[in-house]
Structure 1
């Protein structure tokens, strides 16, 4: 994709109802802006070949290794602490510093099909796909 195409995509994604179709290594990708009324923001949702399949979010939650190619190529990796800070403080009081530090280091990794930042979406697409072409706006 040329810089003009990226600029057009970024322009469309600055509004809460922008959309665009891309062809990435044989996959047809629909990038659709949608609003999130509870958080009062908008995010870009990635549809792969016209679908959002929950099975694509499956991965090893400890290592983050995805089970499907679509996950690796198009979805956002989310890493969160398994234990809340409040629980870590309770473990520190009960079991000591060493055990609390072990539990604090445990992370839970999953994937999400929505992106909040256009820049991070672009960077991820460029890093994980060899050919990206703009199909059309819809």
Structure 2
């Protein structure tokens, strides 16, 4: 895709209800702006070949290794600590700093089909797909 196409896509994605269709390698990808209920913000939802399949979100939650190619190519990786700060403080008091630091390093990894930041989405698409073209 040319820079002008990316600029047009960014312009469409800067307002709610914008959408665009892309061809990424062998996949047809729909980028649709959706307003989050209860919030005053919107995000870009990625439909692959016209679908949002929950099975595509399955992965190894410790390593982040995906089971499906669609997940790796188009969905946002999300990491968070396995334990809350309060739990870690209690663990530190009982078992010591070294064990608590090991627990703090453990992460829970998931994937999400919505993106808040257009630049992150663009960077992810360019890194994980060899050819991207705008369909309309």
Structure 1 unaligned regions, length at least 5: none
1:15 paired with 2:15, answer yes
Structure 2 unaligned regions, length at least 5: none
* 1:29 aligned partner: 29
* Deviation for aligned residue 1:39: 3.0
What SS does the corresponding residue of 1:110 show, helix, strand or coil? Answer: strand
Q: CA RMSD in A?
A: 0.7
* 1:108 aligned partner: 108
* Deviation for aligned residue 1:95: 1.4
Cα distance in 2 between the residues matched to 1:23 and 1:105: 38
Cα distance in 1 between the residues matched to 2:131 and 2:97: 49
**What TM-score, normalized to structure 2?**
0.98
What SS does the corresponding residue of 2:86 show, helix, strand or coil? Answer: helix
> How many aligned positions are there?
136
* 2:91 aligned partner: 91
- Stretches of 4+ moved more than 4 A in 1? none
What SS does the corresponding residue of 1:55 show, helix, strand or coil? Answer: helix
* 1:2 aligned partner: 2
Question: Cα deviations across residues 76-126 of structure 1 (Å, max 9, x unaligned)?
Answer: 000100000010001011111111111101000110000000000000000
Equivalent runs, 1:41-120 vs 2, <5 Å: 41-120=41-120
**What TM-score, normalized to structure 1?**
0.96
Cα distance in 1 between the residues matched to 2:67 and 2:107: 18
